[in-house]
Amino acid sequence: MRTVDVKQIEEAVFRLARRANFSLTDACRAALKSAKEREDGAARFALETVLENEKIAQREELPVCQDTGMCCVLFTVGREVHFEGDLTAAVNEGVRRAYRDDLRKSICDPLTRLNTGDNTPAHIHIELCAGDRVEICLLPKGFGSENMSKIFMLTPAEGRKGIVESIVGTVRLAGSRPCPPVVVGVGIGGSFDGCAYLAKKALTREIGSRHPRADVASIEEEALEKINALGIGPQGFGGRTTALSVACELAPTHIAGLPVAVNIQCHCVRCAKEVL
Amino acid sequence: MLDLTLPLTKEQRLLLLAGDCVTLSGTVYTARDCAHRRIFEALDADMVPPFPLEGAFIYYAGPCPVPKGKTSGSVGPTTSARMNVFAPRLLSLGLGGMIGKGEMSEEVARALQRFGAVYFAAIGGAGALYGNAVRSSELVAYPDLLAEGVYRLEIEKFPLVVAMDAHGGNIYRK
C-alpha cells in the first residue's frame, strides 16, 4: 500500500491548471502549423493569428484563451494507493489557487447564474488500475465547444455507418460556433453517462494519434476525412481544415444499444498530465 | 488590411464587405449572456442602459482578470449565436455593430441590413493577442457578474474579419 498525502494532489492540480492555461500542447501547435499551409485568405489569417497568439501568451504571461474553462480532472489511480485526506477538497483547492489572480472564473449556479467566484467545483473522474501510480490529466474545458457536443442512443442496426454520421453530423451542425478547426472526442458504447465520459477521455489523447484497434482507427480516419470535406474551415471562414483530429474510445455496451457521444473541443487544446 | 477607428459613421459601415480583413481601434463595450439580460431589463423599465447605444460596438467577450502591471487580461470573443435573441433590438436602438465569433442568425442579418450595421468576427482562441491590444479596461456595470459584467475597452488594432455586412454578405455562407 502506498500512502499519498492529498496535499501532493493539490500541488499537482495547481501546477497542471497553470501549465495548461498558458500553452497549447505540442501536437496541437504542430497540427495548426500544418493546417495553416493548406489554407488561404481569411482562413489562413485565422490560423496565423492563433499561432501568433500563443507566442504572445507566453511572452506576456497571459492565458492562451480567456475561456479558462471548467477544470475536468481525470485520475487513473492504482488500487494500492491510499489517499490521506479529502481528495475532492484537495483538487478544488488546487483549482482555487490556480485561478485566484489572472484566470477567469467561469463556474456558476445553473439556475441563478450566480458565479461561485473561484472556478470550483472541478469536474472529477476517477478510474482504477493495477499498481500504485497516480496519473492526473487536467483539461480546462471551454464551453463554446462543449455546448456543441451531443449524445446519440443509436440502435445496433445503425452500426458503424450510424456512428460516422453522428460524428460528422454533430460537427456540421456546430458549424462556425465552436472555434474550428475542432478536435472531436467520441465515446462508443458503455451506458448513457459512461459513453459521455469516454468522449471526454478521448479528448485527452494526443492529436493525430490512432486507436490501436484497426476497426476503430478506420472510423476515426473516415470521420475526419468527411468532416474536412464539409468546408466549414478555420473559424467557419471556409477551408480545408474543419477538424484537426478525431479520437474514439470504446467500452462494451448492452445488446440492445449503441450509445455514441460526440464531445467537441476547440482548436485551443490545453491539456496537461502528470504522474505521481 | 484596412485600419478602422471607432466610431464608424453609417457611410463607413456600408463600405465594409464580408471577407474584408481589418484592424479596429477605439472604444468597445463587452457584454455577454447575463449582461444582455440586465440591459434588456433596464430597457424594459425605461431606464438608461449602462452605455449609450448610438453608434456603439458590443464585444461579445468576458475578460480574464487584469494581471498586475498590465492593462488587460486575455479577452478573445465568445460564441455570438447565444446573443441572436438580443442583437436585433439593440441594433434597432442605434447599435453600430458587434464583434464576436461564429455565425449569427437570419434575423440578425436582416437587422444589420436594415440599420446599416456590421458584425465583425474576432479570431476565437486568440485571447492573449487581443488582451495585449487593449490599452485600458474599465468596469462600467454589473460588478457582481465578474467576467460577465460590462467593461469599456480601449482597443488598438484588433485584427478582425468582416463576417456579416450591411448588404446581406456573410462569410459563413460563401
pLDDT in tens, A189-241: 999 999 999 999 999 999 999 999 999 999 999 999 999 999 999 999 999 99
Count contacts between A and B (CB, < 8 Å): 154
Q: Which of residues 251-270 of A touch B (CB under 8 A)?
A: 266-268
Contact at CB, A237 and B79, closer than 8 angstroms: no
Contact at CB, B101 and A144, closer than 8 angstroms: yes
Give the span between the Cα atoms of A48 and A44, in whole angstroms.
Answer: 6
Residue A101 above 80 pLDDT?
Answer: yes
Q: Does residue B173 form part of some domain?
A: no
Query: What share of chain B has pLDDT > 90, as a percent?
Result: 99
Residues of A in contact with B125 (CB under 8 A): 50, 53, 64-65, 179, 266-268
Q: Does residue B171 form part of some domain?
A: no
Mean of pLDDT values over B100-117: 98
Q: If you write DSSP's letter for every residue of A145-206 in order, what string do you get?
A: HHTT-EEEEE-GGGHHHHHHHHHHHHHHHHTTTT-SSEEEEEEEES-HHHHHHHHHHHTTSP
Residue B48 above 90 pLDDT?
Answer: yes
In this prediction, the answer to ipTM > 0.85 reads yes
Q: Does residue B46 form part of some domain?
A: yes
**Residue spans of alpha helices (H) in B70-160:** 87-92, 106-115, 127-131
Q: How many domains would you assign to chain B?
A: 1
User: What is the domain-level CATH number for residue B23?
Assistant: 3.20.130.10
Q: Does residue B145 form part of some domain?
A: yes
Q: If you write DSSP's letter for every residue of B22-48 in order, what string do you get?
A: EEEEEEEEE--HHHHHHHHHHHHTTPP
Residue B141 above 80 pLDDT?
Answer: yes
Task: Point out the residues of B that are catalytic.
Answer: 36
pLDDT band at B174; cut points 50, 70, 90: confident
Contact at CB, B123 and A46, closer than 8 angstroms: yes
A12 near A274, Cβ under 8 Å? yes
Q: Parse chain A into domains and list their residue ranges.
A: 2-22+64-141, 143-269
Q: Which of residues 60-119 of B touch A (CB under 8 A)?
A: 61-68, 70, 73-76, 78-79, 81, 101-103
What pLDDT does residue A186 have? 98
* Owning domain of residue B64: 2-166
pLDDT band at B1; cut points 50, 70, 90: confident
Mean of pLDDT values over A146-165: 98
Which residue has 501568433 as its cell numbers? A52
